[in-house]
Amino acid sequence: MVADVSGTDSVETTLRSDGTSMWRLYAEYGRDNVANAVLGAVMTLLSRFVGLAPPLLLGLAIDAALLRTRPFSLPFVSEASVPTTPAGLVWLTVSLLVAATLVGAGASWLQNYGWNQFAQNIQHALRVDAYERLQLQDRAFFDQSRTGELLSVLNNDVNQLESFLTDGVSSMLRLVALVLGVGVVLAALNVWLALVTMAAVPVLAVFTLLFVRRVQPKYARMRRRVGELNARLENNVGGIEVIKTEHAESYEVGRVREASRAYYDANWDAIRTRITFFPGLAVISGLSFAATFAVGAFWVLNGPPTPLSGTLSPGEFVTFMLYTQQFIWPLAQFGQIVNNYQRAKASSERVYGVLRSERTVTERPDALTLSEVAGRVDYEDVTFGYDGGEDAGADVGTEWHDATDGRTRSPAVLRDVSFSAAPGHTVGVVGPTGSGKSTLVKLLVRLYDPDEGTVRLDGHDVRDLSLSDLRRAVGYVSQEPFLFYGTVRENVAYGTFDATDEDVETAARRAAAHEFIENLPDGYDTLVGERGVKLSGGQRQRIALARTFLKDPDVLVLDEATSHVDTETEAIIRRSLDRFAADRTTVAIAHRLSTVKDADEILVLDGGRIVERGTHEELLVEDGLYANLWRVQAGDIDDLPESFFEEAIARRATVESDRSE
């Protein structure tokens, strides 16, 4: 994955592809749907073929029934079955016209059925597949992408592809059938006059080519602006609370107006090109029609204009002009097809990008499965930096860390981190904000992979393990647990989908959540709102804990799992957690040091390095950073050395400047 450091054009950058993507997508997803496409294609040809009949019948009727200058002879119809009187011929013509109309209508229905089935099936498969691929993407991909833009790919761009399939492909086929079919008939009727009509074709082709060249980049820009607008809207709806509390409504209206204006400008730019193109096509087609009429009419009046030769009856002339109309005007529609094609192409490149974007956190084909997990965790000289994007570091004169995969990273967030947790032991991780604590545990569940060094579970490099086994073995309660829109019960059972109601309740009791859940309007069936907004932070944390208790993992990772609950509730949860963690390896991050006081080993992180380690007592004796942090939490601010404040202020400055970059 190549991502933009600013994150502004991430989808555009990550989804770049080579331009043939649209047809590859149709081929890949259309394979299981060939029957519908064939039905659509055959019926398109049949309806075009039937459409050729009326002009021919009309010309014949004029010459044979009205002017009586030539016999009424039809292909595949014997002369004996044709009436001899003019009235009989008129009725025969009427019957054949009605029959052609009915067959044409039937073919048209089947044609639409086939193409729409084809397009809808592809759209459905493509959307599900694109979502599946998106879901498999690394955590880092989502760090660099914006939700609104990704949603825009999954929705708008996939729809654009479907709409081209429904209208564009069938229209294109109709057009090819028409140009070939009618072209041949025109040439058979009167080759010279046909040449006059067809003189318009190369002119139309050049004109269309010019249009394509101009409009293509405009459509690509337009699709990007739609993505950006969606990203802005999605972001604002998600951040509505901050917008309100910061009274930033008019500021955000301004930003939405700006994004909408950028889309408007890009769209209008494309529209201007398009609306100039269509009348241009109509003028070329109209001139060609007028020229054909002029040559044909004078031919009927005065005989063939020099140097042409041959005959042209009034009936043949009418047939010819009707075919010319069928031939020329649809050619003008060709522009619409090209237009839709260009739009679909711009979309396909974004969809294709999602389908094909590379991942770094992948499972090896011969990944190891874990049947029994003892729970030993080892970090060996682990160094890691977040993806800084393509050109990151070039302009910012900081120390940048080059990953082994050649991608440039932001300054290493973890440096040479080594520690071990024996099965059943608890390791506490403490340190100032931004020191890398959460990053450390994210490497254990492979949300990211280290750039250097190894993370091991039971002696195996986690990169060698099956991802599903690894994630089943490790239970991870994050700092800001995410709840899905749904009921409390669904959220507790998320990931353990076969849990019974009793299991859910037991887990909730252990997480000190059962009582508050019972007091909710519908108990376990209460809807928690989007992202769990209807619950307090502490309630969300307890539901997330219950989810992990239910999962019953071998290794427990707690990233400030009780930071939002009050001291009393924390005491209840701690008692449960202590029992739960007693026989399983636990890595617990805590700001509140009392939470990890009893850990077998406490690691003190500062600037991505382990600066102190030991038990609570040992660290107090050491009288370093941990001891000072302990004094802070005990309220003994006056006992802190001046150097502590100086270092803390310097540290804050570094963290803030890192963030602003």
Rule CB under 6 A: which residues touch ligand ATP? 143, 386, 413, 431, 433-439, 479, 655, 658-659
Tell me the two tokens of residue 281: 């096509």
3-state SS, one letter per residue, for 351-407: HHHHHHCCCCCCCCCCCECCCCCCCCEEEEEEEECCECCCCCCCCCCCCCCECCCCC
Q: How many whole angstroms separate alpha carbon 572 and alpha carbon 574?
A: 5
CB of 344 to ligand ATP, least distance (A): 34
CB of 435 to ligand ATP, least distance (A): 4
Nearer to ligand ATP, 316 or 606 (CB): 606
Nearer to ligand ATP, 438 or 594 (CB): 438
Nearer to ligand ATP, 424 or 624 (CB): 624
CB of 165 to ligand ATP, least distance (A): 38
Contact call for residues 399 and 416 (beta carbons, < 8 A): no
Nearer to ligand ATP, 225 or 407 (CB): 407
Burial 72-90 (b: 16+ CB within 10 A, else e): beeeeeeeeeeeeeeeebe
Count of CB atoms situated within 10 Å of the CB of 322: 17
- The DSSP bridge partners found for residue 428 are 588, 602
Nearer to ligand ATP, 50 or 593 (CB): 593
Contact call for residues 191 and 320 (beta carbons, < 8 A): no
CB of 479 to ligand ATP, least distance (A): 6
Q: How far apart are the first and last CA of the chain?
A: 21
- Say whether the peptide bond before residue 307 is cis (omega within 30 degrees of 0): yes
- Going by C-alpha positions, the residue among 596, 521, 568 that lies closest to residue 542 is 568
CB of 383 to ligand ATP, least distance (A): 13
Q: How many whole angstroms separate alpha carbon 31 and alpha carbon 139?
A: 32
Nearer to ligand ATP, 47 or 439 (CB): 439
Nearer to ligand ATP, 297 or 655 (CB): 655
Nearer to ligand ATP, 409 or 489 (CB): 409
Nearer to ligand ATP, 250 or 433 (CB): 433
Nearer to ligand ATP, 84 or 433 (CB): 433
Residue 201: which residues within 8 A CB-CB, separation 6 or more?
179, 331
What 3-state class would DSSP assign to 609? strand
CB of 589 to ligand ATP, least distance (A): 7
Phi, then psi, of 391 in degrees rounded to 5 = -110, 15
- The DSSP bridge partners found for residue 614 are 602
Tell me 528's DSSP state: -
CB of 371 to ligand ATP, least distance (A): 32
**Strands, E, within 497-607: which ranges?**
555-559, 585-589, 601-606
What's the chain's Rg over C-alpha atoms?
Answer: 36
Contact call for residues 416 and 379 (beta carbons, < 8 A): no
CB of 605 to ligand ATP, least distance (A): 7
Q: How many whole angstroms separate alpha carbon 503 and alpha carbon 27?
A: 47
CB of 5 to ligand ATP, least distance (A): 10
Nearer to ligand ATP, 306 or 433 (CB): 433
